[in-house]
Structure 1
Amino acid sequence: MKFIIRALLVSAVLSFSSYAQEVMLDRVAVIVDQGVVLQSEVDALMNDVKRNAEANGQDLPSDRALRTQAIERLITKSLQLQMAQRMGIQISDPQLEQTIANIAANQNTTVDELRRQLRLEGIAYEDYREDIREEIVMGEVRRANVRRRVYITDQERETLIELMEQQGAEQEEYRLGHILIGFPSDPSDEQIDAARERADKVLSLLNSGSDFAKIAIASSSGNEALEGGDMGWLNINAMPTLFAEAIQGKAKDELVGPIRSGAGFHILKVLDTRGIEKVTIEEVNSRHILVKPSIILSEDKAKAMLVKFRAQLEAGEVEFEDLAKEHSEDPGSALKGGELGWSDPNNYVPAFKDALAQLSAGEYSDPVRSVHGWHLIQLIDRRVDDATERRKEDKAYQLIFNRKFAEETENWLREMRDAAYIEVIE
């Protein structure tokens, strides 16, 4: 028995010595201001790069060159994390788990499946979690420090929109229907008036639902009359300027005209389009009363207030505007009788957006709990709005912002590194 105990003690001592030796093998590789980069971090990053390169069949430079790049990456990371600490930026566990769930969803998988895949690759889930947490923190630091360095002028945005429209015009094609109500090459006023009158009658018939091709065959003086007026597919830059200016931005099945030229009066129909980006969004006009629970007003009492308000509104005993002005705790809308104006429902928090989706015009919701408090919502109306121009402006702004943000991030990181104390320990 004594022999066994002694053997166990020796084994424990050896294990402890081995562990102590393993810890001692790690060392400081770089001093970065108030922090350090450990050799184990450098080795881990180099191993990751080597593993990814092998998986992708890529060649790598020497270990010395690779180590230099790994150290630079870790210095940049350390400086950002130190700044995040000074700024008090923290990522809660629920926020982290939600981000990981979003990552899994974007990969068309589940968190459990993601964990299983990490395990197969020899990556501990806790290490993965902390890597994601650090990435989120560094992203917040960059946004906070770089965003204010990005300035975009109206001229920059307008120039890019114009360029995008020119490039888009090269892709745009319209299939046009054409009816020409002609007059002689040197017409009298009476002939012009008569042609105009016939053109107006043709347009009236078309607006009433008459068949375009049938009327074109019967009435058009154009070269495409026997083809039902079908001019085929035309690029916006290839069609007559008169037509291009008239139909640009028109949607499928829209009628245009009569347009006068030297040959007569033209009526056009957009039979189809391709290569044209047209964006429509549904907007809602709504109003609400917001009641926020507090130490004095419990959740149940706040909800009960709104139940009572809804009953009064449906009975016609009170006006929504009066209730909102007196009771709503949303300062932005209370003075307007709770009205929020026309807006994309995606601009609202999920609970509010989902409640609106269930309502018909004029209908009141049940009390809805959001992160802001309890809402009583009325949908005033819905509409479909053409957001093509707005989308172009947003896209141009985002393209310029992304480019400038990337440039300024590089400048900011370089300035931060230049100002920091860095000592690489060989």
Structure 2
Amino acid sequence: MDMNKTIRVLGLSICLLVSAHTSLAKELLDKVAVVVDQGVILESEITDLVESVKANALAQGQTLPSERALRTQATERLILESLQAQMAERMGIQVSDPQLDQTIERIAQGEGATTAQLRQELSTQGIPYEVYREQIRKELITGEVRRANVRRRVYVSPREIETLVEMIEQQGNAQAEYRLGHILVGIAGDAGEDEVNAARARADKIIELLNTGSDFAKMAIGSSSGAEALDGGDMGWKNINSMPTLFAEAVQSKKKDELVGPIRSGAGFHILKVIDARGVEVVEVEEVNARHILVAPSIILSDAKAEQMLIDFRTQLIDGTADFAELAKEHSEDPGSALRGGELGWSDPNVFDPTFKDALMALDTGEYSQPVKSQFGWHLIQLIDKRVEDATEKRKEERAYQLIFNRKFQEETDTWLREMRNQAYIEVLDS
């Protein structure tokens, strides 16, 4: 069983988190390196992240920039992680142990393995299971913080959907996907002409170096202000319609290994590399029809009581002493479905909250779930039916919406992170 890829994707820093507690030399370095609002970043955290990037680069045969450039990038990533963690605490966002265990079980299942086999693989790589669990918990919390703060900033108009549907129908390459490398030479929002010109010159120099054989990943780690810098600038696979508009227009028809840019945006100058490109086969889509009862914890209804209420409802439904539709109309706090007896209608399961979706897709037709907790509260779910649907006009519109939403969500996430960082109190202490 090979789960190396999964483990790498879920946190490059996991391996090195262990070393902070196993070396006296590390303990001597464990001092406050950066003050971030109400939190701090320790010297050992920066060192560990730098070392993890080095280890990953060594495993992949990549070359790296200077120690100073690595430290700067690592510090920036940890600052953003700290700010998001502090916001999660203020918002009261938590991931319970049962939720965490379910997520890890799904990760293992995605690799065709059991949780026990995943633990064994982690042990083989020298990663304590508890360290791995906490890294996954941290990533789940960060995801919830981003969704809660960025989703409301995204608006997709009917006209945008209509335009994209027309474009998808007209374009022969609408299904094209690109794996992009990204380097951002950032500029401040209030930068003057001289600063902009200097940034443009740096971007041109990077292009020149790349065209003469310099390693893209090394340049990204050493020079990029983008969120993917420590990953060698790798943005992963993106559909042509889900990537930022500037990028989509620039990379269309470009071939593997081609460089694009510099492209100017409000954030600075972007340099792209087409790492790879591929088409996507058209497939039939499985849709589900389900219904649910949503109970949200409140000041007068504790989390435990909300869960117990749904446990009681489930027992009554199985015993035949209650009717799902009536319970939903009386108790569900989802106004969009309560009046319909909790019914959500035929939908692509991917539109649902990830936790809700996973619980729903595990059900057989007619089956009731155990109470499931999402960002909205506790759900009792029943799967009514499943079907496989060919592409229809409705499906095209839904796909167009999701593509636009995903692009805008990523753009707004980057903006939100920059705003949060600019507004924060950050003090880098002398090394």
- Normalising by structure 2, what TM-score? 0.53
Shift, 1:89, TM fit = 0.7
Aligned to 1:409: 413
Look at both structures and tell me which one has the larger radius of gyration over its CA atoms: 1
Q: Which residue of 1 aligns with 2:186?
A: none
Whether 1:97 and 2:116 are equivalent positions in the alignment is: no
TM superposition shift of 1:161: 1.0
- In the alignment, the residues of structure 1 paired with residue 36 and residue 310 of structure 2 have an alpha-carbon distance, to the nearest angstrom, of 51
Tell me the equivalent position of 2:117: 113
CA distance in 1, matches of 2:396, 2:284: 9
Report the Cα offset of residue 69 of structure 1: 0.5
Provide the residue aligned with 2:316 in structure 1. 303
Determine if contact 2:365/2:383 at 8 Å carries over to the other structure. Answer: no
Q: After TM superposition, give the deviation of residue 110 of structure 1 in Å.
A: 2.0
Q: CA deviation at 1:382?
A: 9.1
Matches within 5 A, 1:19-418: 23-168=27-172, 277=282, 279=284, 299=312, 303=316, 306-307=319-320, 329=330, 340=343, 343=346, 357=365, 370-371=370-371, 387-418=391-422
Secondary structure of 2:40's match?
strand
SS at match of 2:155: coil
User: Structure 1: any 5+ residue segments left out of the alignment?
Assistant: 1-17, 172-274, 310-319, 359-364
Q: Deviation digits for residues 308-346 of structure 1, max 9, x if unmatched?
A: 68xxxxxxxxxx9xx97699745678877x594853596
Using a 3 Å threshold, how does the CA distance of structure 1 residues 54 and 157 change in structure 2: closer, same or farther? same
Q: 1:281 to 1:137 in 2, by over 3 A?
A: closer
CA contact (8 A) 1:277 1:388 kept: no
Q: Is the 8 A contact 2:307 2:371 kept in 1?
A: no
CA 1:419–1:342: 2 relative to 1, 3 Å = closer
Q: In 2, Cα distance between the equivalents of 1:282 and 1:295?
A: 30
- Look up the equivalent residue of 1:43 and give its one-letter code: T
The amino acid that maps onto 1:357 is T
Runs ≥4 residues deviating over 3 A: 18-25, 168-171, 275-288, 292-309, 323-336, 338-356, 372-375, 381-387
Counterpart AA for 1:371: P
| Alpha-carbon contact 1:279-1:391 (below 8 Å) kept | no
**Deviation per CA, 1:174-222, whole angstroms, max 9, x where unpaired?**
xxxxxxxxxxxxxxxxxxxxxxxxxxxxxxxxxxxxxxxxxxxxxxxxx
Q: Name the SS of the counterpart of 1:108 in structure 2.
A: coil
Q: Distance in 2 between matches of 1:286 and 1:84?
A: 30
1:212-260 Cα deviation digits (max 9, x unpaired):
xxxxxxxxxxxxxxxxxxxxxxxxxxxxxxxxxxxxxxxxxxxxxxxxx
Provide Cα deviations, 1:250-295, integer angstroms capped at 9, x if missing partner: xxxxxxxxxxxxxxxxxxxxxxxxx99474656769999xxx9999
Once residues 297 and 69 of structure 1 are traced to their aligned partners in structure 2, the CA distance between those partners, rounded to angstroms, is 47
What secondary structure, in the 3-state scheme, does the structure 2 residue paired with 1:152 have? coil
Deviation at 1:371, TM superposition (A): 2.9
CA distance in structure 1 between the partners assigned to 2:143 and 2:393 by the alignment: 30
Shift of residue 136, structure 1, vs aligned partner:
0.9
Q: Tell me the amino acid that sits aligned with residue 365 of structure 2.
A: A
Q: Distance in 2 between matches of 1:74 and 1:384?
A: 44
Measure the CA separation in 2 of the matches of 1:66 and 1:325. Answer: 59
Across the aligned residues of Structure 1 and Structure 2, the Cα RMSD in angstroms comes to 4.6
Q: CA deviation at 1:168?
A: 4.9
Stretch moving more, 151-160 or 387-396 = 387-396
Give me the TM-score of the superposition, normalised by structure 1: 0.53
Distance 1:294 1:128, change over 3 A: closer
Which whole-Å CA distance do the structure 1 matches of 2:128 and 2:115 have between them? 14
Q: Which amino acid aligns with 1:108?
A: G
CA contact (8 A) 1:32 1:78 kept: yes
Count of residues paired in the alignment: 281
Aligned to 2:41, the other structure's residue is in SS state: strand
Distance apart, 1:148 and its partner CA: 1.0
Q: Give, in whole Å, the separation in 2 of the partners of 1:395 and 1:40.
A: 44
Task: Give the conservation status (yes or no) of the 8 Å contact 2:108–2:118.
Answer: yes
Equivalent pairs: percent with the same residue?
A: 49
Unaligned runs of 5+ residues in structure 2 are 1-21, 176-279, 294-304, 373-377
What is the one-letter code of the residue matched to 2:346?
A: S
**Compared with structure 1, are the counterparts of its residues 163 and 42 closer, same or farther at alpha carbon in structure 2 (3 Å cutoff)?**
same
CA 100–155 in structure 1, closer or farther in 2 if over 3 Å, else same: same
Query: Could you tell me how far apart the structure 1 residues matched to 2:57 and 2:23 are?
Result: 31
Instruction: From the superposition, tell whether residues 394 and 369 of structure 1 become closer, same or farther in structure 2 (CA, over 3 Å).
Output: closer
1:287–1:47 Cα change, 3 Å:
closer
Deviations 1:67-97 (A, max 9, x none): 0100001011001101111111111111111
Secondary structure in structure 2 of the residue aligned to 1:36? strand
Q: 2 CA distance for matches of 1:374 and 1:139?
A: 20
Q: CA deviation at 1:109?
A: 2.0
Q: Secondary structure at the match of 1:357?
A: coil
| Per-residue deviation, 1:143 | 0.7
